[in-house]
Amino acid sequence: MQVESVATLTTSDCYNTRRFSTHLLFNRSIHTVNQLNPRQREAAHYIDGPLLVLAGAGSGKTSVITQKIAYLIEKCGIKGNHIAAVTFTNKAAREMKERVSQLVSGPAARGLIVSTFHNLGLNILRKEHKSIGYKSGFSIFDQQDAQALIRDLLMQQHGSEDSSSDQADAVQQQISSWKNDMVNPDQAVAMATAPAGILCAQAYLRYQRALKAYNAFDFDDLIVVPVQIFQQFPEILAKWQRRIHYMLVDEYQDTNISQYLLVKLLIGDRGKLTVVGDDDQSIYAWRGARPENLAQLQNDYPNLKLVKLEQNYRSTARILKAANRVIDHNPHVFEKALWSELGYGDPIRVIRCRNEEIECERVVTEILDRRVRGHGQFSDYAVLYRGNHQSRLLELKFQSHQVPYQISGGTSFFARHEIKDIMAYLRLLINRADDNAFLRIVNVPRRKIGTSTLESLGNYATERDISLFDACSELGLEQSLSEASVTRLRQFTSWLDRISQRCESGDGMAAIREMVNDMDYQAWLHQNSSSDVVAERRMANVYTLVDSLQSTIDKDESEEDDIQSAVAKLVLRDLLDRQQEDDDAMDKVQLMTLHASKGLEFPHVYIIGMEEELLPHRASIEEDNIEEERRLCYVGITRAKRTLALTYCSKRKQYGEMIDCAASRFLDELPFDDLVWEGEEKDPQLNQQRGQETLSGLKGLFD
């Protein structure tokens, strides 16, 4: 039987319709829907217009989104390929997709878009790149690639090699901010008045020109350029609006201007939109997030429906009371108050320490003490902090006491600069059409091949519709570049061709080692590292990569010395190793910044460094931006499920000197009756008793 179009259905019609199959998975989805609380069910079933779900921490927003997707497919007859659910991280997208797959299956669910904003933008660019003059197979510059290009442009502009990474980083951040605010290079140049602003604007202009010549986009372009395409080409926008009949957006408070426009354009005036957000958890203003986008929805959609999710399924009532009390000091467009049925819970501990060494020692030994007494696993504990620098001393203490830990957001082996360089060489060896790899290493180490040369080369390659590598060998290149530039490019490609020929002759590993030696990469690392020790460590990573490549070939008895196959397997093995590392890390204390903790939860949470100028941060105090710091504190508090401890120091080392510290103002905002204040323990008898109990616990582990 033909299913009615969603445009003709109301919420009531959808709910009462019984025209669909009752297979096992669907029965499971109905069972789960029935487990939703009244507010969650209201949000999952409402389709009569645009909807804002104001979802507090731990209120089950992911369940609402996934259940709504199932409802749209199974009850409202919208096929999966006409639904887009968008969030900010790959992890969140994967979790959402997995949960949806447990609720719906079959042909109707095929083609469902569950992705990050940037992946959605990338999919649009893959379909529409020709409209703005880009070739297929365009490259995506990551942050490192983009910064390297900006650094080269600055060096060229100033006629020296004095441009620091800090300067390039500052320019990159400003360019990113302009892009997120939909400010193009010409507008930036027109707006700039101060010398620093003029420098950034000029760099922005040349940077975009270079990207176009390289047939490349950066990370911000994945959102900005689709918006520009939609604004310039109404027929393309209409095509994508026909593709996406309903859109769901998670973490809407974290959207910037370009992401907001992308959603608004795709939805148009149809109002087939559900956004989920929490203005109290907006902590990314530094990267362009605008919590005011939540309030803007009321202006864009006057018929906007608001549903509040205030029941928390994570934390005790005492923890939620503390979180509510702190965040109440911020102004609100939408009022809400989290509550819980999980009991009142243990008091919140506030621990004063003499200095940061005692603070870290206290946290580590206490976790060890509680663990050996049988209070959960190490993975039940998380230590949160405002800045990454606070983790250094923590790590030393965890290592000293042999307590397993994991720092969230550590750099993977394949994400290191030196590894990405060598892998780019390997990728180019096996694929001459890899323009991104070419651009990364054509001047690493330096071969006097500047950005102007590469821009001209890129434009020539685009006109001829060939790769950058192949363009270097064309006779017509002399018409676009100087003789010296052409000579340098051909010296590079000829050298790489010789390495490739050696690989193909059956002595691939010897050729790879020759390549590393010939380019004198070790000297390059010494020139571009903060110390000789760092340079040697980075070169050791390169040797590890080469050895791994050799090991991969040695273990493959079915093939000869096949470098192409080995490189592919090496990348795959890295992914598998990281998966294994994740598995092995299951019983480790988690260390992370407050920003990184968003979306996570732990039975026991420590927040260290609750001091003025640390939390709230000094920069935020000076800029009068305490509200975001308070939201950051709120996020930290609401990570805790059962117990919460907050520590601060009376003195802390800064620039080699001990300075006096003041307790964070946020401690004064907590409900006093729910706190237990602890100072430095000076009772030797109590310390001895704790030591004996800890020893007994350790012995029990091995009985």
Q: How far apart are CA 156 and CA 209, in angstroms?
A: 14
Q: Measured between alpha carbons, how far is 151 from 696 in angstroms, rounded to an integer?
A: 58
Query: What three-state secondary structure class fits 561?
Result: coil
Q: For residue 2, count other CB atoms closer than 10 A to its CB.
A: 6
User: How is residue 327 written in tokens?
Assistant: 């965040």
**8 A C-beta contact, residue 643 and residue 367:** no
Q: For residue 248, which of 230, 225, 267 has the smallest C-alpha distance?
A: 267
CA 532 centroid distance within chain: 32
Tokens of 142: 């990551």
Q: Decide if 54 contacts 334 (C-beta within 8 A).
A: yes
CA separation for the pair 153, 161 (Å, rounded): 10
Distance CA 245, CA 65 (A): 16
In this structure, are residues 318 and 346 in contact, taking their beta carbons and an 8 Å threshold?
Answer: yes
407 and 497 Cβ atoms separated by less than 8 Å? no
Give the residue from 492, 490, 515 showing the smallest Cα distance to 502: 515
Contacts of 443 (CB under 8 A, 6+ apart): 152, 449, 450, 454
Fill in the amino acid letter for 679. Answer: G
For residue 63, what are its two tokens? Answer: 């369940």
Q: Which of 597, 641, 594, 596 is nearest to 615 (CA)?
A: 594
Residues for the chain: how many in total?
A: 703
- Report how far residue 551's alpha carbon sits from residue 287's, in angstroms, rounded to the nearest whole number: 42
Q: What are the backbone angles phi and psi of residue 528, rounded to the nearest 5°? A: -120, 25
* Whole-number Cα distances in Å, 250 to 114, 266, 278, 323, 472: 11, 16, 10, 22, 46
Q: Round to whole Å and give the CA distance between 221 and 329.
A: 37
For residue 592, what are the β-bridge partners?
Answer: 384
The DSSP secondary-structure symbol of 683 reads -
Mapping DSSP onto H, E and C, the string for 347-382 reads CEEEEEECCHHHHHHHHHHHHHHHHHCCCCCHHHEE
CB 561 within 8 A of CB 509: yes
Helices (H), 431-560: 435-441, 451-464, 468-471, 483-504, 508-518, 521-527, 532-555
Helix (H) or strand (E) holding 563: helix 563-584
Tell me the pairing of strands 602-607 and 640-649. parallel
d(CA 517, CA 196): 41
Contact 384, 639 (CB under 8 A): yes
Strands 657-660 and 651-654: antiparallel
First-last CA distance in the chain: 66
Q: Which amino acid is at 134?
A: Y
Our separate counts of H helices and E strands in the chain read: 31, 19
- Catalytic positions, please? 61-62, 250-251, 281, 639
